[in-house]
A = this chain, B = another copy of it.
Amino acid sequence: MTIMAFQDNYPEDLSHCYGCGKNNPHGHQLKSYWDDDETIALFTPKPFHTAIPGFVYGGLIASLIDCHGTGSASAAAQRAFGSRDETPPRFVTAALNIDFLAPTPMGVELELRGVIREIKPKKVLLDITLSANGVICARGHMVAVKMPESMIS
């Protein structure tokens, strides 16, 4: 059995996100999964994703936390309120707070871990860490909300 990433369950016409959409060939195509009750994603930055030489630029860190967060919110909402046959709801970010705790080194696979803190059908609060070599480099807190119908046309 192939385990599908959260993002690979998004509807085809909502799968163009630069951070995580499978239909965006230019983008990062981040893939997130369950790991027991937490969520996990792995990503190795490209050599040009630098801040200053040797370290990953903050915008990529924010992007990975953001996309792992909305993916985790989608999967958590489906697990809590949906059925297996339904397409998971798509979530967007209302608020993203990131503390950069240590410089993130280049040349290393980064691990994102999400913990769902509160879940309602249209709103999910979650915490996400980004680690390199087992050291937490950034910690994010997110408010994700169900994508408004007005964005889907």
Binding site for B on A (CB under 8 A): 13-14, 16-19, 21, 24, 26-27, 46, 48-55, 57-60, 62-64, 66-67, 70, 90, 92-100, 103, 147, 151-153
Contacts and interface: CB of A to CB of B under 8 A. Distances in A.
Contacts of A153: 54
Given A60-B63, A63-B59, A63-B60, A17 B51 contact: yes
B58 A16 contact: no
Copies of this chain per assembly = 2
B96 A98 contact: yes
A94 B139 CA distance: 11
Contacts of A66: 58-59, 62
A63 B52 contact: no
